Structures are given as structure tokens and as C-alpha cells.
């Protein structure tokens, strides 16, 4: 199991999750509009979930159905950041309502 950051993080990026993560598995770069959890580094401690002020983080088994795409988006960022950033831009600019 891992944790997944969903759409509520887009353009909020409070970063409280990064501050509490004991293994530093949550990433963000200057060109990003949200944070991403590395699924292989996450130890499932859930510290990030409760630290998120906008409720954007879920255990991968608890991601709401309307936000399921974000499980793949979190993984994709570690494989293809440019494609991930484009998808996030599409979601944000299209006004797509996802949790």
C-alpha cells in the first residue's frame, strides 16, 4: 500500500505532508502544481494524510472513485514528469472536478 495525492492539492501545495513524512517520499519541483508520493519509498505511516489541510491524500485503497486517476498520476511523475505536468495542467484548466 502507498498514499496518493489527489486533485485537492493542485495549486494549494501546503507542503505540510512533506514536513511530517519520516522517509521523505513526497516530492515537488518548481514546475509542479502539486506534490507526489513515491510508491516504492512510502512506508504507509499515514502521517501525510492527517497533515494535509485540504484532504488531498488517501491510502491507495481508499482513493475516491472520481480520483482514481491520481494513483497513476503519482506514479507517472517519477517516470515522466513532463507528461504528468501536462495532465495536471489539463485537469486544472479544464475545471475537471476530482477529489
Domain ranges for the chain = 3-94
Question: Residue 7: is its pLDDT beyond 50?
Answer: yes
Q: What is the CA radius of gyration of the chain?
A: 12
Q: What is the pTM of this model?
A: 0.91
**Cα distance between residue 89 and residue 37, in whole Å:** 18
CB atoms within 10 A of CB 30: 4
Is the domain spanning 3-94 CATH 3.30.70.20? The answer is yes
What DSSP state is assigned to residue 42? Answer: -
Average pLDDT over residues 8-27: 96
Average pLDDT over residues 41-59: 97
> pLDDT tens digits, residue range 62-98?
999 999 999 999 999 999 999 999 999 999 998 555 4
Residues 6+ apart with CB under 8 A from 39: 2, 60, 74, 75
Amino acid at each position: 500500500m502507498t498514499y496518493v495525492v489527489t486533485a485537492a492539492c493542485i495549486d494549494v501545495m501546503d507542503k505540510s505532508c512533506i514536513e511530517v513524512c519520516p522517509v521523505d517520499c513526497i516530492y515537488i519541483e518548481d514546475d509542479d502544481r502539486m506534490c507526489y508520493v513515491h510508491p516504492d519509498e512510502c512506508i504507509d505511516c499515514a502521517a501525510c494524510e492527517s497533515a494535509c489541510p485540504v484532504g488531498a491524500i488517501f491510502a491507495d485503497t481508499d482513493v475516491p472513485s472520481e480520483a482514481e486517476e491520481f494513483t497513476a498520476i503519482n506514479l507517472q511523475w517519477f517516470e515522466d514528469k513532463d507528461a504528468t505536468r501536462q495532465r495536471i495542467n489539463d485537469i486544472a484548466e479544464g475545471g475537471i472536478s476530482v477529489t
